[in-house]
Structure 1
Amino acid sequence: MNILFLSLSFSTSKHKSFYEDLLCEFQKRGNKVYVACANERSSEEQDGLYEKDGMTILRIRIGNITGNIGIIEKGISTMTIDSLFLKAIRKVYYDVKFDLIIYPTPPITLVNTITKIKKRTGAKTYLLLKDIFPQNAVDLALMQKNGIKGLIYKYFRRKEKKLYAISDHIGCMSPANVEYVLKHNPEVKRDIVEVCPNCIALPEVNPVTQKKEVSDLRIKYNIPKDAKIFIYGGNLGKPQGIKFLVDCLDKEKDNKKVFFIIIGSGTEFGRIENFIKKSQTRNTLLLKYLPKEEYKLIVNQCQVGMIFLDYRFQIPNFPSRLLSYMAAAMPVIIATDPNTDMGTIAEENGFGYKCLSNDVEGFSQAVDKIINSNIEEMGKNAWEYLVKNYTVSTAYNIITRHFSK
């Protein structure tokens, strides 16, 4: 099949896209992959066409939509994305007959592009639903449903419904995501919505058979020999509920049995930095965003992973960061809103503990439970569950079973 993958972001010279491994799986299975991705004005990446691992990638210049930019600039840039994508794809991929169009959220700004390419080529469409926008913005009080400000919400909500309408199949990250979509969009048929979870390519070495060597990490960062090393890696912004994370670190600051490593960047980085300075805690290390390989080296020497999500979320979330912990055979503590089912999945399958992300005492209890558990056995459970459920091969089979000739 000729596959068109549409995304507002993709791999760069400094960052590997979450979707690259899945697309490489399509290539390995005999398909031809074409990518069309956005390239913001502020980006150092070159526009235009190039080849990578057999994939044809088209970078399309758009205005700035991320980073520290004004709301007017972001609004104008967002409104013009659809037309810029359609124009570029028509110009460059004019002679390609696509069989399948795949697009992860948030692609609601590309509804017109998807509609017209689908009509021109007769391609089937598959939505990888990763973010339920605009509801996630409402949950965090970044958008309102009513009044004058509600006009923006209603505009994007109409776009969201159009996106569902043009999708032949919708892949959600978890069972809770499936039920949320069906409940809040009754016009969507149940038989087109399924679980197609986040996925990764498995590491070459089975981490269960590799003994964790943590001496280098302990020496470099002066980590006590007997302390269990907990890690959080990823965005440090509003969706992660960083205030709660800080409250948890404060609760555990005198616990000599644990050591916390926080790695990431985002709008709330300063909140954690200020806490560490004021509290003078000795069991927390904060590091800025690291290159992927350097981050992976640290992760592989840690013993417990952590996930944090803002308690206000009404939509179920499933951060992809969980998979990097599981790939390192680490158990997890998952602190989320009541609607997210990731913690339940971890507990039921023996690789983690959950708590609500407004319950500091619950987090502390989860820490105690995990350090008194068989961490190696829980890590083995995490790895085995990953192998069975979250590989690129699994996701490929879920998607393509609908389109096999």
Structure 2
Amino acid sequence: MQIALIADTFPPLRTSGAVQLRDLSREFARQGHTVSVLLPAPDLLSSWKIEEFDGTKVVRLKAPKTKDINYLRRTVAELAMPFFMWWNYRKSPLANTRWDGVVWYAPSIFHGPIVSALKKSSSCKSYLIIRDIFPEWAVDMGLMGRGLPYRFFKVVAQYQYSVADVIGVQTPGNKRYFEHWVKKPQRSLEVLQNWLDIPTQNRCPIRVADSALAGRKVFVYAGNMGIAQGMDILLELAQELLYRLDVGFLFVGRGSEVNRLKARASEQRLDNVVFFDEIDPDEIPDLYAQCDVGIVALDPRHKSHNIPGKFLTYMQSGIPVLANINAGNDLGVLVREKRVGQVCESNQLDELKELTEKLLDQIATDTDISLRCKQLFEQEFAVHKVVKQIIKGLSVNTISS
């Protein structure tokens, strides 16, 4: 199939979304499909730029800047982004391409207009991959009320949904957000698991043996450290475990909360905690090979279900997980059923500490836990299964109006 894959992130960016889209585009190509990744590019001097990337075309289209600016400017820029992308796409060599399917990735919620235009010009179906449900999660987190901004973003999101023929959500629990949408004819709603490809295994510059955590059982967190993660309880856990000289906590990444968390760890003299800056995704396997447990953290105010990309990387590397997540999250059921770690849903320090010590005992005695982690990854999160599922969704003959 000739596939247009639309997103707002891709390498050389190192976000989890960029890694996922890199892996998805590679697998489409491996399975014999022709893929063009369409991206907004605010720094382009020309209207468009086409690059080759691992068997796919990356089409960068000039559009307004949407990152690292204030919220009002960002909202206006994101609203304009798909129209700029479409205008500049029409100037590119791909302008007359007949697509067999359009796939797009949310976030962002603003791609609806360009998806609609591509669908109409090619009379093809579209598949929306939803990884977070905005603006609902922002309301859950207390970042937004249900006033005018919420209603505006809700309209944008609803338009995006109306353009989709198939929507793939992360977990069964997230289907409830689309109960009304799926009632209309010729629409399909399904669970599309998160995914990862087998990474290139580059040497990681972080050497645990040369750090303050040398010789300890290391709990690692690698990824974004922002408000949505609710990571303060992890520093409280580290403080509670200071007496255990065999345990340490390694935090690797970036985010709005990093500097505050570093300062707090320093003030509390947490000598069992070490921070490092973000590393290349292909260095992650070597980092995890030096660690014993992966940490998943989600703010307890979340109401939607989320299986973060970092959970997949832990499973792929064969290390069990310690998860502090919102109550009722489908991730908790998965971890318990597959026996690949311990999950706290109460956000209570006493329980999290108890589960941490239970997990330490488990990894010391359960010789099969690493194998179960790897088996879970292959069964549920391998990228080749995801591509086949998307192609199947696009291949049904019915097309929504």
Q: Which moved more, 1:365-374 or 1:195-204?
A: 195-204
Q: Which moved more, 1:15-24 or 1:343-352?
A: 15-24
Question: Is there any run of 5+ residues in structure 2 with no aligned partner, and where?
Answer: 397-401
Aligned 8 A contact 1:202 1:387 in 2: no
User: Partner of 1:220 in structure 2?
Assistant: 210
User: Partner of 1:7 in structure 2?
Assistant: 7
What is the DSSP-based 3-state SS (H/G/I as helix, E as strand, rest coil) of the residue aligned with 1:108?
coil
TM-score by length of 2: 0.90
What is the DSSP-based 3-state SS (H/G/I as helix, E as strand, rest coil) of the residue aligned with 1:402?
helix
Match of 1:381 among 369, 372, 380: 372
Match of 1:298 among 281, 287, 294: 287
User: Partner of 1:197 in structure 2?
Assistant: 193
Q: Kindly state the Cα deviation for residue 33 of structure 1 after the two structures are TM-superposed.
A: 0.3
CA gap 1:352/1:196 in 2 versus in 1, 3 angstroms:
same
What pairs with 1:2-401 in structure 2 (closer than 5 Å)? 2-12=2-12, 17-41=19-43, 48-67=49-68, 69-92=69-92, 93-145=94-146, 150-178=147-175, 180-183=176-179, 185=181, 187=183, 192-202=188-198, 217-225=207-215, 227-356=216-345, 358-373=347-362, 374=365, 376-401=367-392
Q: Kindly state the Cα deviation for residue 218 of structure 1 after the two structures are TM-superposed.
A: 4.5
Aligned 8 A contact 1:309 1:335 in 2: yes
Q: Kindly state the Cα deviation for residue 185 of structure 1 after the two structures are TM-superposed.
A: 5.0
Aligned 8 A contact 1:49 1:57 in 2: yes
Deviations 1:149-203 (A, max 9, x none): x11211211221222222111111111122x323575746797111111111135
Number of corresponding residues: 388
CA gap 1:156/1:14 in 2 versus in 1, 3 angstroms:
closer
CA gap 1:99/1:232 in 2 versus in 1, 3 angstroms:
same
Aligned 8 A contact 2:134 2:157 in 1: yes
**Matching residue's letter, 1:385:** L
Aligned 8 A contact 1:217 1:223 in 2: no
CA gap 1:239/1:51 in 2 versus in 1, 3 angstroms:
same
Aligned 8 A contact 2:212 2:272 in 1: no
Q: Distance in 1 between matches of 2:185 and 2:156?
A: 18
Question: Is there any run of 5+ residues in structure 1 with no aligned partner, and where?
Answer: 206-215
**Matching residue's letter, 1:153:** Y
Structural RMSD (CA)? 2.5
What is the DSSP-based 3-state SS (H/G/I as helix, E as strand, rest coil) of the residue aligned with 1:156?
helix
User: Partner of 2:399 in structure 1?
Assistant: none
Deviations 1:284-325 (A, max 9, x none): 111121223444322121111000001111111221111111
Q: Kindly state the Cα deviation for residue 220 of structure 1 after the two structures are TM-superposed.
A: 0.4
CA gap 1:188/1:270 in 2 versus in 1, 3 angstroms:
farther
Q: Distance in 1 between matches of 2:185 and 2:295?
A: 35
Q: Which moved more, 1:16-25 or 1:125-134?
A: 16-25
Q: Distance in 1 between matches of 2:51 and 2:341?
A: 42
Q: Distance in 2 between matches of 1:321 and 1:229?
A: 16
Aligned 8 A contact 1:174 1:195 in 2: yes
